[in-house]
Every structure is written in C-alpha cells, then in structure tokens.
Structure 1
C-alpha cells in the first residue's frame, strides 16, 4: 500500500513516501480500515523529532486522526461490520499506545486498530469533518467545557487561535455565549478568525498582546471597581514567553486553561499573580472518548465547523508537515490517501 512513514528521528528528511509499504494485518479483536481522511497535529512533528523520555519503534506511520470505513473484521469483534464508517479514538486506553506514534497511523491507505477504539461517524458527517474531531477539537472541548467551564457572558482570550485547537476554542467560546479575543500572527489569519466569530483580534507579532488586552478591558486590580478589569479566561497551550503575560491579562479569580506547550514547557514563572489575583490554572490532558463523541454530535447538529486549511495527498505529505511545523496553517491540514 501507499504510506508516508517516519524512518528515524530527525528533521524533514526523516520522513519517506513509499508506494509499497507492508499492508496491515487484522488482529483478533481488531479491524482494518480503508483510510479516507487523516489530519496532522503538532504531535506528529514531535513524533518525527523524537520526544524526551519516550522510546518508539521505528519505522512508524504518523497520523493520529483517522477516519475511514471498515474493510476487514478480526475474530472476537462484535457490533462492527465491513462498510461501517468510523473514526478512531487515537489513544488505546488498554495498552496506553497511541495511533501514529506507537502503532501505524492514518498516513497510509489502510490502518489496523483495536475495535474498542472505534467511534461511529454520524450519517450526516463526512470523512473529512470526522478526521478533524479527535485530537485537536476533542482536546479543545475538554479544555473549554469539561474542565474550563466557560460560561455565557465571559470574556475569553485565545492564544494560538489559528491552530487546530485554537479555531475550535473560538467556536466553542462563541457557542457558549462568550466575548472572544483571538490572538494570531498575521492579518490574513486575523481576518479569517473574525469570520469564524471572534469579537476582537490581536496581532501578537506587531503589538504587545498584554497591552492590547488592557486597552480593551482595563488593567486588572486586586480591589475596588477595577477588580473586574481583564479577561475571565485565557487559553494558553503555547507556553514559552507568553505564560506570565497570560496570567497578567486575567481579572481577580480568572482562569488560565492549558493543554500543551508548543513553544516551550519550562517558561519563566511569576507565581505572585496566581496568589495575589486568586487565579486558577486548569490543565487538560488530551481528551476522552466522550469528548470526541461530543464534537461529532456538535458537528452533526451544525454547531461546530471543521476548519480545513488545505488538502494534501500521501505523495505530497512532506509539504503538509512543513506547513504545520512552520505554523503556516489556519485550522487543520488534511491528507487523503
């Protein structure tokens, strides 16, 4: 079969397109899918580079998010049949493996997976939309709703708003009735985030985003009338040098929501802001199966849009990797075998 795989850890040269990669073999308790759509996440970049403390057996086909149809069913599988349209929960919660990391993922024509990781795609949801939902969108839903408890009327700032997680956060915040401030790095991205529903947009490459938030909502104070100044919630899954400034955007009792650290996991910290302003820092570790199902339900109801920046094939998947790695994407890049 055709596949795009990681042969060794390293830079772009570590990935290879192969028209004769071995076909997957169905396992007891599992199925084989014909892949119809897969999306890239920054997680795939980390897998290619190599992650501290994690040893992977290579080669491996990347691609956590996989949507397709069942073409073969293994022994001991109940409730699924050939032709069923499914999306994969990327995390194997029994073996603690991850599709596209510890086992071959979606950047191939076929993919083998245990049946307990399957989620049925609603009839009115296409494969492209379904492939967007697991990693980025379900992570956003868990962060915003399950753990973050964003509420109508709150002022919510979203750093990295143009990424896969970010564009979903914008939509979920608007769906909850919030006033949304989206931060991005270019005029084009900001315009498209406006179209997605953001009330205010800030270019963090051209301006100091903290100063811009203070212009919008005032500088927070510990007491008095200004105690309500600032954002109620800020989403920061970039880390790095945005961390302390994010804390400084928040009103007394505000919440910082995080699910990652794409720009650095060990930023400078100033914990005075946490205790002085009684802030809450709430983490979300990926997603659960019900978060993926929740996103699919919102998509089926027409309330959540899968924002796809561009569609690639396996033959030009290297370009898709480059786009994601250099953050030249709004939403998700999708790969169809």
Structure 2
C-alpha cells in the first residue's frame, strides 16, 4: 500500500454548495488543511443561474487569494446538494437549480474543475482524512437541509450507474395504515431534516422557530413539543439507516451534516432506533460514528476530488477515482 508523499504539496479549491450556505476554501494536501475559508449565503430562491454566478465569483476570489500567497491552484472541486452524473452534470434541481446548466464548463474556465454530489465529496474526505480511515467499507450519511448517503469502498465513494446512488430520504415510503386503511406516503426528508424540524415544531408550538438549532435547544430545555419533534425525527432517521445497514452490510456508519452532528436527543434517538431496526445480530453493534472533519468534510472533500483525478498518490493508500457501476 502506498503512502502520501509528505514532501509534495498540492493546493485545490473546494466549494460546498448547500441549500443554506456556500462554503469555499483553499485546501492544502496531503494534510487536507484549509488555508483560506470563505462563506456566503446560497439564496437558492433567486434561481440557479444567480447562485452559479455567486459561486464562480467565490472561486475566482479564492484563486486570487491563492496567488497572493504565491500558491498554484491545481483545480476546483465543486460539491453540490443535488444528483450529479458520472460526467459531472447536475441532473436534479430539488434545491440548487443547476440542472441543465453548463456548471462544470463554467468553472473550467477558471481552472480544471470537477463537479460532484456533496455527499460523495464529504464521504471522500472522511475516507481519506477522517473517521473512515480504518474501514474498507462504510456508509456515510449526511443530515442537514437534506438527508443522503454514500457507500464507500476502499476509500472510493460509489456513484452507481447514473450517479444516483445517494438517495435515502427524498421519495415516499408508501404504506397503508393498519388501523384506518388510509394510504400513507411519508417522506423522511419532510420529517427528520433540519427544515422539517422547524416546520413540524411551528405547527405545534405557541412560539415559532426559524432554525433547527432553536428546536434542538428547546428540546434540551424540556419544551414538550420540541422533545416530541426531535425524538420522533431521530427515530425515523434510524429506521432508514437501519434498512441501509441491512441492505449494504457496511463495517461502520459515519454521520455528518449540521443536524447529524448536533448530538443530544436527536443523536440518541437516532442511534437507538437504528440498532433496533438492524436485523442481523452480527451487525447490530457496528460502529456509528460522527464525521471527524465535521462541517468541513464537504469543502475538503470537494477539493480532494481534484487529487483523485490528478494526484491520487497523495491520498492515503494511493486511493483512486470514485467507483462506478460497470
């Protein structure tokens, strides 16, 4: 197994484009150290083209800052909270409406560029620099504005045949109520994500919350409505992650994202529910770990996609490109 050459330094820009904010940074490898960090609001309601232009300006500014530090940028990695196919084309527009736009081509005018799904970018970072290092096969789950996952094998995120091997919570789980016969179509993302916590709490409580952090804090202080919302959200997430474990049989599960790393009642409810819904005795006590890189996983992982293509020898184990379905 090869090891990173610590004498070589490669610098890349990572952009983590989420529904609330866009985090950009200049990242030094092989250490994965963020030298410069910038954050701007996303404002996705303004339309995809406006968000794209904001993100391009952010990247251009980081290139200028790198030049001021006399550092050469090897490329730009862009992680976006949407489906991205094997050619780097954004194929969904659930939150960031870049579907059909020449996103990778636009960034390539600034520097060599790779566009990837944000969850696979974060999973890559955890695989080569974080909690995934000890594991040959793990599932990375991110919980924030949305909820998605990536299977990682030998340090490489699995993209699937079309880049869609990340959907965990966006489609309905159709069933029939055994008591009244009503057709039920719950959507996990509308029940357990950050915006869902706010919406569910505001429908029950006398006071209104603006952010998921407020609901979590209210639950910690004993607010009964908040306790119910947070507890049931964590339990529902555990049902789906338990099913994921039953299906994929990973060595471990690593959890990231703002809500995934919130701890407290949400985390405890999620862990207990996940273990209850794992069928095999030999899997039930598998490690379920917090992402070591925290909120920086997406940014660092986006930058690391450049290394996957241009300098894989600088990553631990010389690990190569994302696994693609044959």
Relative to the length of structure 2, the TM-score reads 0.36
Task: Specify which structure has the higher proportion of helix.
Answer: 2
Higher relative contact order by CA 8 Å / sep ≥ 6: 1 or 2?
2
Relative to the length of structure 1, the TM-score reads 0.35
